[in-house]
């Protein structure tokens, strides 16, 4: 690189940094953002693959604010384009949209602004952009770039092909001089090549980030008592936003009805509803701080809601790509979020039934995808690692703390080679013509008609594993499948040996086998892990007040709350508690525009709160990383030190003092403690009459958020007490 180019690159980066700070209030780039943006600034065609929440929008928005001309952004869903543009405008970006949802007058106005050079980002649907009249109108508008979001939609090999995207290949011909960039979250190497090829990118630079999402906690659990399992999970997320994915429409309706009957507000979403209903439910979900949507895979494409705190799959998704996308909708803001997958043997059959009418070429692909998905569920590899491996990457280390495999109490099998050989040789002796259930029956020495009828009671493997439970043998078979010793083939999922399986039979290679904790089918206790970390130092009642103020602004402007400020920003506000216009700029996610628009009101609430409660304001935690995604997952030691103190009957104030944490943080630990120990009596911490009042309030307004209870009690009872009583009440219900 010549020194001139180095200088130019350095200048570009500085300019981008300024823009990042000014419009978004962020002080650092996320992984590969700087590299992608620099390439875009230099006008080279660029393909960016970053996971959901990785910050792809900024990769084109920030350069668009530095370069001359207008950027065209193509985005697949009209219903969500408004959201994206609202979000951009709230940061002060001159963004506009053109699609079939806007009327002639608005379109006229927008074109006026475009011609006056006032628009820097124009969002357009692919349908519109490829119309020749539209292309003609663009002919004399100076363009900085064409940015194609969700670019995997152009590839037939991807999991979400959209025919309109295919027509985008005209762009290269029409605008040979304008740089063309593509962005996507889930693309295997083949799909990446296909995208570049279809769009006609000219010697593009590829930036492919790690597919890992460290802030997501994955748990894969066998279905047991489903209602209990789901309720246990929801208990961890009272007052938070989440998605529950089901395989069929019928399940969606049933679970929605069930949740509503339990006083949990939830809305359904599937292809059987009218467009109108679907749109309404989606809007309600986006606009609500704490909504739950129960949905089929039809839901979620392009949903940018940043504070989804959990995604539960009731049943296995149809491919790992789908799982990555669907679970990936959680935690876009980089804060902790839970992904729970409840799977059972019936899921595979359900999907096979639903995909039975697909043409053979397609259905072969989907059968293979389904098997890989089963392998993922049954396997015992760190979930983070298994997911990234699927996309052709690897992790230097397993996650250690953030998945059921790493945190589970699994015991290694003492003689894995022997057990594996028993299973594999049974499969071989059964002539590789039977499925998992049958193989287990043989190994357990079943006297069933089928086994006896086949004469398989004469096999040398008959009854060899009779001392082990059926679920455990099933786990082992799953583990052998994941290690490629076996695979399932054909409509009946017959077990067949693969090459490594032969090595095992010859004693040349030993696979790993473990006795997983979940073989006992228990409902797993929520892990206390990291949960509170991102709440450290956050004044809870202040957070609730700020959340209220955010809602007011949001409804005034008719935008979702997260467009005003993300949850991460609210937490940082309630942690740093700034009271001056300068100090608020140091808060994560507050740029100049947002400070000017909302600063006064937020500062006032914070100032009043700090005075009234004699809480320190303008706290300097500059030593903490401002961007939560950079935090490594870790066990929260403070929470663990607090537990014995609570057990010894210490008061909240005493514990707070001993562990040197804010009152509200300590209260969070207490809630965690109550949950962990399943305590139902709140009176060691809240006096009996107050507890009784709170319980009465719960009867009236439900336990789906602390604020309704607080308001029902006319603000006479503090949030900490409410939180404690609610937790005990929930424990009592289960
Ligand atoms: P993607 O399109 O890749 O799924 P988004 O562009 O929607 O992700 O960004 C996800 C979230 O991350 C948004 O809330 C965004 O404001 C935030 N974000 C993006 N870049 C940064 C950054 N450099 N620092 C902090 N937050 C960021
Ligand atoms: Mg995006
Ligand atoms: Zn792990």
530-555 average pLDDT score: 82
Q: Left (φ > 0), alpha (ψ -120 to 50) or beta: where does 91 sit?
A: alpha
Ligand 2 centroid to 623 CA: how many Å?
A: 30
The answer on pLDDT for 560 being more than 50 is: yes
3-state secondary structure of 122: strand
Other CB atoms within 10 Å distance of the CB of residue 715? 9
The answer on pLDDT for 718 being more than 90 is: no
Concatenate the DSSP letters of all residues of 219-268 into one string: EEEE-SSHHHHHHHHHHTTTT-EEEEEESSHHHHHHHHHHHHHTT--EEE
Instruction: State the Cα–Cα distance between residues 302 and 286, nearest whole angstrom.
Output: 12
Tell me what pLDDT residue 321 has. 87
The answer on pLDDT for 187 being more than 90 is: no
Q: Left (φ > 0), alpha (ψ -120 to 50) or beta: where does 356 sit?
A: alpha
Tell me the whole-structure pTM to 2 decimals: 0.70
Tokens standing for 447?
A: 């006297």
Tell me what pLDDT residue 620 has. 77
Tokens standing for 270?
A: 């599937």
Least confident range of 357-361, 418-422, 685-689: 357-361
Ligand 2 centroid to 74 CA: how many Å?
A: 11
Instruction: Look at ligand 1, atom 14, and give the residue with the nearest C-alpha.
Output: 333
The answer on pLDDT for 425 being more than 70 is: yes
Instruction: State the Cα–Cα distance between residues 228 and 506, nearest whole angstrom.
Output: 45
Tokens standing for 698?
A: 């719960």
Residue whose C-alpha is closest to residue 594's, from 122, 82, 88: 88
Ligand 1 centroid to 33 CA: how many Å?
A: 10
Instruction: State the Cα–Cα distance between residues 367 and 349, nearest whole angstrom.
Output: 11
Instruction: Look at ligand 1, atom 12, and give the residue with the nearest C-alpha.
Output: 55
Least confident range of 168-177, 287-296, 589-598: 287-296
pLDDT band at residue 621 under the 50/70/90 scheme: low
The answer on pLDDT for 343 being more than 80 is: yes
Tell me what pLDDT residue 46 has. 97
Ligand 1 centroid to 184 CA: how many Å?
A: 14
Ligand 2 centroid to 538 CA: how many Å?
A: 29
Tell me what pLDDT residue 706 has. 78
Instruction: Look at ligand 1, atom 19, and give the residue with the nearest C-alpha.
Output: 55
pLDDT band at residue 361 under the 50/70/90 scheme: low
Q: Which atom of ligand 1 is closest in space to residue 149's alpha carbon?
A: 2
Q: What residue ranges line ligand 1, CB within 6 angstroms?
A: 26, 28-30, 33, 50, 52-58, 304, 306, 332-333, 566, 627
Instruction: Look at ligand 1, atom 10, and give the residue with the nearest C-alpha.
Output: 53
Tell me what pLDDT residue 351 has. 87
Residue pair 182/199 in contact by the 8 Å Cβ criterion: yes
pLDDT band at residue 624 under the 50/70/90 scheme: very low
Instruction: State the Cα–Cα distance between residues 607 and 618, nearest whole angstrom.
Output: 10
Tokens standing for 58?
A: 């900024």
Instruction: State the Cα–Cα distance between residues 8 and 102, nearest whole angstrom.
Output: 40
Instruction: State the Cα–Cα distance between residues 416 and 422, nearest whole angstrom.
Output: 10
Instruction: State the Cα–Cα distance between residues 441 and 428, nearest whole angstrom.
Output: 15
Nearest bound ligand to CA 380?
A: 3
C-alpha dihedral, 526 to 529 to 535 to 539, nearest 10°:
70
pLDDT band at residue 720 under the 50/70/90 scheme: confident
Q: Which atom of ligand 1 is closest in space to residue 59's alpha carbon?
A: 6
Q: What percent of the chain is modeled with pLDDT above 70?
A: 92
Query: φ and ψ at 621, to 5 degrees?
Result: -110, 45
Residues near 642 by Cβ (< 8 Å), separated by ≥ 6?
Answer: 655, 659, 661, 666, 669, 670, 673
The answer on pLDDT for 660 being more than 70 is: no
Tell me what pLDDT residue 627 has. 45
Q: Which atom of ligand 1 is closest in space to residue 54's alpha carbon?
A: 3
539-550 average pLDDT score: 91
Q: Per residue in 97-112, pLDDT tens?
A: 998 888 999 999 999 9
Range from 188-197, 198-207, 409-418 that averages highest in pLDDT: 198-207
pLDDT band at residue 676 under the 50/70/90 scheme: confident
End-to-end CA distance of the chain: 65
Which comes out higher in pLDDT, residue 726 or 243?
Answer: 243
Instruction: Look at ligand 1, atom 23, and give the residue with the nearest C-alpha.
Output: 29
324-349 average pLDDT score: 91
722-733 average pLDDT score: 86
The answer on pLDDT for 628 being more than 50 is: no
Instruction: State the Cα–Cα distance between residues 484 and 482, nearest whole angstrom.
Output: 5
Residue pair 73/122 in contact by the 8 Å Cβ criterion: yes
Tell me what pLDDT residue 638 has. 55
3-state secondary structure of 651: coil
Ligand 2 centroid to 52 CA: how many Å?
A: 7
Ligand 2 centroid to 427 CA: how many Å?
A: 46
The answer on pLDDT for 190 being more than 80 is: yes
CA distances (Å), origin 3, targets 6, 9, 21: 5, 10, 27
Residue pair 673/526 in contact by the 8 Å Cβ criterion: no
Q: Per residue in 221-269, pLDDT tens?
A: 989 899 999 999 999 898 899 999 999 999 999 999 999 998 898 999 9
Residues near 103 by Cβ (< 8 Å), separated by ≥ 6?
Answer: none
Extended beta strands in 469-591, E state:
486-489, 494-497, 514-515
Q: Per residue in 581-612, pLDDT tens?
A: 999 999 999 999 999 999 999 999 999 999 98
Ligand 2 centroid to 16 CA: how many Å?
A: 19
Residue whose C-alpha is closest to residue 96's, from 542, 106, 105: 106
Question: Which DSSP category does 356 fall into?
Answer: T
Q: What percent of the chain is modeled with pLDDT above 90?
A: 53
The answer on pLDDT for 369 being more than 90 is: no
HSE-CB at 113 with a 13 A cutoff on CA atoms is: 16
Tell me what pLDDT residue 451 has. 95
Ligand 1 centroid to 58 CA: how many Å?
A: 7
Ligand 1 centroid to 332 CA: how many Å?
A: 7
**What are the contacts of 726-729 at 24+ separation with CB within 8 A?**
726/238, 726/694, 726/698, 727/671, 727/674, 727/675, 727/682, 728/674, 728/679, 728/680, 728/681, 728/682, 729/680, 729/695, 729/698, 729/703
Tell me what pLDDT residue 525 has. 37
Tell me what pLDDT residue 580 has. 93
Nearest bound ligand to CA 77?
A: 2
3-state secondary structure of 486: strand
The answer on pLDDT for 639 being more than 70 is: no
Q: Which atom of ligand 1 is closest in space to residue 51's alpha carbon?
A: 3
Element (H, E) at 411: strand 411-412
Q: Which atom of ligand 1 is closest in space to residue 27's alpha carbon?
A: 24
The answer on pLDDT for 633 being more than 60 is: no
Q: Per residue in 458-470, pLDDT tens?
A: 999 999 999 998 8
3-state secondary structure of 64: helix
Instruction: State the Cα–Cα distance between residues 75 and 124, nearest whole angstrom.
Output: 7
The answer on pLDDT for 301 being more than 80 is: no
Tokens standing for 2?
A: 């010549």
Nearest bound ligand to CA 403?
A: 3
As to burial, measured by CB atoms within 10 angstroms (0-12 exposed, 13-18 middle, 19+ buried), residue 460 is: exposed
Residues near 504 by Cβ (< 8 Å), separated by ≥ 6?
Answer: 417, 420, 421, 424, 485, 510, 511
Q: Which atom of ligand 1 is closest in space to residue 28's alpha carbon?
A: 23
* Domains of the chain and any CATH numbers: 12-208 (3.40.50.300), 216-407 (3.40.50.300), 411-515 (1.10.10.10), 532-621 (1.10.150.80)
Instruction: State the Cα–Cα distance between residues 592 and 628, nearest whole angstrom.
Output: 21
**What are the contacts of 274-282 at 24+ separation with CB within 8 A?**
279/79, 282/79
Name the average pLDDT for the chain: 87
- Best residue for ligand 1 mutational test, from 20, 37, 58 (most atoms within 8 Å of Cβ): 58
- Best residue for ligand 1 mutational test, from 21, 37, 55 (most atoms within 8 Å of Cβ): 55
Strand bridging mode 486-489 / 494-497: antiparallel
The answer on pLDDT for 484 being more than 50 is: yes
The answer on pLDDT for 420 being more than 90 is: yes
Residue pair 318/373 in contact by the 8 Å Cβ criterion: yes
Instruction: Look at ligand 1, atom 27, and give the residue with the nearest C-alpha.
Output: 55
Tell me what pLDDT residue 2 has. 54
Q: Which atom of ligand 1 is closest in space to residue 627's alpha carbon?
A: 25
Tokens standing for 421?
A: 């050989």
Q: Per residue in 98-147, pLDDT tens?
A: 988 889 999 999 999 999 999 999 999 999 999 989 999 998 899 999 99
Nearest bound ligand to CA 76?
A: 2
Residue whose C-alpha is closest to residue 409's, from 529, 525, 518, 521: 518
Instruction: State the Cα–Cα distance between residues 220 and 421, nearest whole angstrom.
Output: 27
pLDDT band at residue 521 under the 50/70/90 scheme: very low
Nearest bound ligand to CA 28?
A: 1
Ligand 3 centroid to 408 CA: how many Å?
A: 9
Q: What share of the chain is helix, strand, coil (3-state, %, to 5)?
A: 50, 10, 40
Q: Which atom of ligand 1 is closest in space to residue 306's alpha carbon?
A: 14
Ligand 3 centroid to 383 CA: how many Å?
A: 5
Instruction: State the Cα–Cα distance between residues 13 and 667, nearest whole angstrom.
Output: 43
Nearest bound ligand to CA 328?
A: 1
Q: Which atom of ligand 1 is closest in space to residue 29's alpha carbon?
A: 23
As to burial, measured by CB atoms within 10 angstroms (0-12 exposed, 13-18 middle, 19+ buried), residue 400 is: middle
Ligand 1 centroid to 56 CA: how many Å?
A: 7
Q: Which atom of ligand 1 is closest in space to residue 52's alpha carbon?
A: 4
Residues near 246 by Cβ (< 8 Å), separated by ≥ 6?
Answer: 252, 255, 294, 295, 296, 314, 315
Nearest bound ligand to CA 73?
A: 2
């Amino acid at each position: 690189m010549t020194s001139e180019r180095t200088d130019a690159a350095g200048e570009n980066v500085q300019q981008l940094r300024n823009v990042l700070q000014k419009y978004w209030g962020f002080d650092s780039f996320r992984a590969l953002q700087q590299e992608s943006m620099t390439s875009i600034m230099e006008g080279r065609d660029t393909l960016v693959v970053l996971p959901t929440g990785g910050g792809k929008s900024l990769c084109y928005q920030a350069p668009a604010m530095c370069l001359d001309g207008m950027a065209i952004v193509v985005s697949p869903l009209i219903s969500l384009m408004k959201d994206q543009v609202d979000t951009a405008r709230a940061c002060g970006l001159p963004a506009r949209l053109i699609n079939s949802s806007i009327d002639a007058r608005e379109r006229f106005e927008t074109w006026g602004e475009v011609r006056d050079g006032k628009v820097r980002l124009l969002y357009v649907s692919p349908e519109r952009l490829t119309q020749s009249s539209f292309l003609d109108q663009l002919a004399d508008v100076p363009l900085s770039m064409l940015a194609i979001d969700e670019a995997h939609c152009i590839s037939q090999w991807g999991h979400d092909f959209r025919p309109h995207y295919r027509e985008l290949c005209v762009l290269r011909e029409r605008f040979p001089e304008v740089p063309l960039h593509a962005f996507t979250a889930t693309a295997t190497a083949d799909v990446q090549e296909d995208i570049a090829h279809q769009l006609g990118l000219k010697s593009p630079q590829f930036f492919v980030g790690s597919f890992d999402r460290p802030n997501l906690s994955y748990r894969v659990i066998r279905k047991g008592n489903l209602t209990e399992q789901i309720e246990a999970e929801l208990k961890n997320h009272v007052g938070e936003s989440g998605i529950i994915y089901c395989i069929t429409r019928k399940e969606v309706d049933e679970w929605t009805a069930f949740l509503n009957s339990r006083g949990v507000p939830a809305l359904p979403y599937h292809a059987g509803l009218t467009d109108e209903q679907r749109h309404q439910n989606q809007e309600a979900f986006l606009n609500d701080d704490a909504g739950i949507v129960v949905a089929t895979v039809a839901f979620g494409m392009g949903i940018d809601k940043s504070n989804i705190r959990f995604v539960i799959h009731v049943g296995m998704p149809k491919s790992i790509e789908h799982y990555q996308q669907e679970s990936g909708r959680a935690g876009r803001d980089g804060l902790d979020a839970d992904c729970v997958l409840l799977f059972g043997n019936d899921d595979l059959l359900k999907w096979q039934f639903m995909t039975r009418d697909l043409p053979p070429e397609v259905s072969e692909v989907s059968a293979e995808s389904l098997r890989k998905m089963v392998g993922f569920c049954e396997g015992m590899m760190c979930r983070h690692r298994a997911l990234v491996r699927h996309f052709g990457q690897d992790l230097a280390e397993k996650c250690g703390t953030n998945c059921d495999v790493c945190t589970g109490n699994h015991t290694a099998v003492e003689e894995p080679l022997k057990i594996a050989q028993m299973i594999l040789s049974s499969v071989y002796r059964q002539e590789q013509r039977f499925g998992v259930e049958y193989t287990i029956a043989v190994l357990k020495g079943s006297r069933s008609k089928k086994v006896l009828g086949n004469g398989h009671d004469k096999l040398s493997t008959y009854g060899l594993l009779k001392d082990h439970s059926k679920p455990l043998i099933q786990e082992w078979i799953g583990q052998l499948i994941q290690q490629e010793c076996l695979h399932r083939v054909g409509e009946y999922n017959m077990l067949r040996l693969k090459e490594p399986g032969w090595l095992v039979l010859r004693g040349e290679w030993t696979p790993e086998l473990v006795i997983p904790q979940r073989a006992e089918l228990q409902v797993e206790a929520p892990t206390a892990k990291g949960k509170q970390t991102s709440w450290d130092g956050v004044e809870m009642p202040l957070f609730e007040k700020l959340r209220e103020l955010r809602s007011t602004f949001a409804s005034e402007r008719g935008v979702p709350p997260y467009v005003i400020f993300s949850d991460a920003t609210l937490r940082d506000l309630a942690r740093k508690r700034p009271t001056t216009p300068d100090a608020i700029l140091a808060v994560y996610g507050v740029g100049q525009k947002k400070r000017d628009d909302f600063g006064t009101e937020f500062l006032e609430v914070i100032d009043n709160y700090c005075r009234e409660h004699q809480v320190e304001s303008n706290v300097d935690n500059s030593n903490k990383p401002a961007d939560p995604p950079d935090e490594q997952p870790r066990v929260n030691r403070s929470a663990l030190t607090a537990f014995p103190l609570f057990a010894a009957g210490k008061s909240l104030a005493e514990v707070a003092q001993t562990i040197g944490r804010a009152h509200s943080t300590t209260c969070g630990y207490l809630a965690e403690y109550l949950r962990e120990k399943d305590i139902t009596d709140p009176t060691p911490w809240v006096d009996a009459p107050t507890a009784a009042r709170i319980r009465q309030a719960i009867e009236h307004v439900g336990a789906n958020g602390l604020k309704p209870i607080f308001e029902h009690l006319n603000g006479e009872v503090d949030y900490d007490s409410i939180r404690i009583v609610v937790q005990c009440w929930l424990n009592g219900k289960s």
